[in-house]
Structure 1
Amino acid sequence: MKKSTRLSNILQTILPKAEVLPFIEQVGYVDSARKFTVYDLFLFLSQAALQQWDGYRDGEKRMPFSGLERVNYSTISKKAKEVPFELFKQLLSLMIKKCNRSARRRLRIPKQLLVVDSTKITTGKERLPWAPLKAEKAGIKLHVSLIADTAQLHKVTETTGNSPDISSCKDVLDNRFILVADRAYGKHKRFDEYMDQHQYFVIRLRDNTHFHKPVLRIRKRPLAGSIEQDLTCQLGKKATLSKNRFRVVILKDPQGNPVILATNLHRPSAENIAAMYKKRWQIEVFFRWIKQHLNVPQLFGTTPNAVYGQLYTALLVYVLLKLLFDQG
């Protein structure tokens, strides 16, 4: 495992905070802290071991670059003194149990890519007065998550056409997968939420995104292909500033335009991060296919029940055809 691996992501997947809290109660420790809790100490000590930090002072400086919120070294020291070591002994026993083969299969640490996007279906305003868009148009959206490598439909939800994509993103996510999405899903505060939810992601940023305190990642080999930069930073300014630091990979598309990707994956190479994002094209192919082959743009009815009933049935047919094709 590389030292730059975001250990806390994997660790929080296997031992989430909610699962650790009962053990804290068992050892009789009352955790009254708000800023630096017992769980934060646990993550700090884990990073310190992996990255061979020199002590609390050294760790204080390195915390922001490891996805941890920075606190004063004296706070860390005091906490480490107070918390009974029996807690960490019990967590060790729990980790040993979880990391056997059968447990690893049940945990389903993300390996596959889940591509998320929406498609809009428009018509005249008079046909769908309950779903108005600009001018004389009306329309609805289908928000879809698709397993990239297999093109299998994973989750779907519906909204009217003027609903922002990011507001419905949570309804089609699954933190067993790595989320891959375009700029419509690139809200900095949402990235912080993904960290709390243990949701891995590779999401394109807008070209004017501000990088706060950028630090270039150390590489053993020079950047290859279209990759131009590989760094970590906080994203945004002031009110939009992210709480966590994220990895940013910058590359050029075939036309020479910049493509800026944000991710909380730190183990894959920058080249692999770029390859993950390119898988997003699968959902564009999916939308084009269902519109060309399943009569999706031709809405028969005018009520919500009629419209969505038709569209969900069309998607059901897609799933059936995909099954038959895969088994043929």
Structure 2
Amino acid sequence: MNKYTPFSAVFKQVLTPEDIQTLIGKTKGYEDTGNKMTVGLLLDYFVQACYQKWNGFRESTRLGPSYGLPKVHYSTLSGKAGEVPYEIFKRMFQLLVKKCNRQTRRHLNLPKDLLLIDSTTITAANSRMSWAPYKKFRAGLKLHVAVSHGQRSPVNVEESIARRNDAPFGEVLADPDYILVQDRAYGKISRLDQYVLHGQSFVIRLKDNLHLVKPRKLHRPAEGDTTIVRDITCYIGQGKCQSAHRHRVVEFKNDRGEVVRVVTDLRNESAHVIAEIYKARWQIEVFFRWIKQHLNVPCLFGTTENAVYSQLFVALAVYVVLRRVYDEIHPNVPVFVQLTFWEFMQHWRIFSLPLEWQVQFSLFRNKGILEIISIP
């Protein structure tokens, strides 16, 4: 590999100009009529702004030419960002997820991968996003994200204003090919019964005030795990809100000694495994923290829905490609030069990857990125 290969060049090999034109053509009511300022150029600017952590349209247009981007005025870039429907960038993200999909190692030898679902809130001053009122002086929006535990990368994302309840998005993001792992905001009783009927596996934390009716202890061989408090089947809730089916409930102590209560449809797994599955949910919190710290997510450039959501979906797309490249190369690098995901990104950003990484990167690119990445 040429050590000066920029991330943007790899990104363009995965998401080609032909892909972009196809996605634009599928967007009703929009035609990319710009001669110089096109959707493709807007994407290039967003990718570089995310990857290089630029802090706005002004800085992007000032620094862009240094990274091979055509010179444009910041008002032109801002106007284009507000004009282009953000659904185009959302579809770009979804296409990249399909292209970067890969076989994953099963967690705890389970038959299905875990799908970790949660949301993160991004806020700004009311004056910047009046269309998304949140608190007294703040506006806000949410990204509802489903992260594959095996791939350590998002596989589906829905957007909303911050005042929207998380619970309905749990159903939207559900996927029977995975085991859902969710926090208590998603633990609606009627939804648990629906999951059982539809064959959707799940491990979901229950609210502390829910009643457990007619509990029956499950007799399982002891595993020597003292964190397990109780393993039962029961009805959940009372009166009209009571579940129609008996559900398995496992109670265990977390690292702080607090009792956590989760409900699951997994009957053949031990209580220890159920507890470990729920603890894996922490990975999505790490993901949220990572993109906010390293991909410029809290620094919103625009003020319109199109500009804001477009920037966020591009940031998620950048993460997907970065993670795919890292996971492809990392296992083949000697132990003494291994890098964390963050270190890999930092070294690549300033063209200082160790020689061993450059060699593996060359092999990766010589195979043909699009031959390694699955094409839907």
Q: Give the shorter-chain TM-score range.
A: 0.5 to 0.7
Shift of 1:254: 1.8
Partners of 1:203 and 1:262 within 8 A in 2? yes
2-structure distance, mates of 1:207, 1:298 = 36
| Matching residue of 1:192 | 193
1-structure distance, mates of 2:113, 2:131 = 38
SS of equivalent residue, structure 1 residue 141: strand
| Matching residue of 1:217 | 218
| Matching residue of 1:319 | 320
| Matching residue of 1:308 | 309
1-structure distance, mates of 2:172, 2:220 = 37
Shift of 1:110: 4.9
What amino acid maps onto 2:231 in structure 1?
D
Shift of 1:137: 1.3
Higher relative contact order (CA 8 A, sep 6+): 2
Structure 1 unmatched runs, 5+:
1-108
Partners of 1:231 and 1:247 within 8 A in 2? yes
TM-score (norm 1): 0.65
| Matching residue of 1:104 | none
For residues 217-238 of structure 1, give each alpha carbon's deviation from its aligned partner in whole angstroms, at most 9, with x where no partner exists. Answer: 1223366230010000011111
SS of equivalent residue, structure 1 residue 306: helix
For residues 86-111 of structure 1, give each alpha carbon's deviation from its aligned partner in whole angstroms, at most 9, with x where no partner exists. Answer: xxxxxxxxxxxxxxxxxxxxxxx951
TM-score (norm 2): 0.57
| Matching residue of 2:203 | 202
For residues 232-272 of structure 1, give each alpha carbon's deviation from its aligned partner in whole angstroms, at most 9, with x where no partner exists. Answer: 00111113211111000001112221100100110000000
What amino acid maps onto 1:154 in structure 2?
V
What amino acid maps onto 2:118 in structure 1?
D
| Matching residue of 1:298 | 299
Partners of 1:110 and 1:178 within 8 A in 2? no
1-structure distance, mates of 2:149, 2:254 = 20
For residues 261-308 of structure 1, give each alpha carbon's deviation from its aligned partner in whole angstroms, at most 9, with x where no partner exists. Answer: 100110000000001001101100100000001000111111111110
Structure 2 unmatched runs, 5+:
1-109, 330-376
| Matching residue of 1:169 | 170
Cα RMSD (Å): 1.4
What amino acid maps onto 2:283 in structure 1?
Q
Partners of 2:291 and 2:297 within 8 A in 1? yes
2-structure distance, mates of 1:267, 1:293 = 40
Matches within 5 A, 1:47-62: none
SS of equivalent residue, structure 1 residue 155: strand
2-structure distance, mates of 1:288, 1:211 = 35
Pairing 1:118–2:148 present: no
2-structure distance, mates of 1:133, 1:225 = 43
1-structure distance, mates of 2:223, 2:293 = 43
Number of aligned residue pairs: 220
Alignment CA distance shift 1:132-1:110 (3 Å): farther
Matches within 5 A, 1:116-265: 116-221=117-222, 224-265=225-266
1-structure distance, mates of 2:223, 2:288 = 37
Aligned identity (percent) is 48
2-structure distance, mates of 1:188, 1:124 = 36
2-structure distance, mates of 1:222, 1:284 = 29
Partners of 2:220 and 2:270 within 8 A in 1? no
Alignment CA distance shift 1:316-1:222 (3 Å): closer
For residues 173-202 of structure 1, give each alpha carbon's deviation from its aligned partner in whole angstroms, at most 9, with x where no partner exists. Answer: 211100001111111111011112211000
For residues 39-87 of structure 1, give each alpha carbon's deviation from its aligned partner in whole angstroms, at most 9, with x where no partner exists. Answer: xxxxxxxxxxxxxxxxxxxxxxxxxxxxxxxxxxxxxxxxxxxxxxxxx
SS of equivalent residue, structure 1 residue 267: coil
Pairing 1:271–2:272 present: yes
2-structure distance, mates of 1:294, 1:303 = 20
What amino acid maps onto 2:293 in structure 1?
Q
2-structure distance, mates of 1:134, 1:187 = 26
2-structure distance, mates of 1:169, 1:250 = 22
2-structure distance, mates of 1:238, 1:122 = 39
Alignment CA distance shift 1:137-1:231 (3 Å): same
SS of equivalent residue, structure 1 residue 256: coil
Alignment CA distance shift 1:289-1:168 (3 Å): same
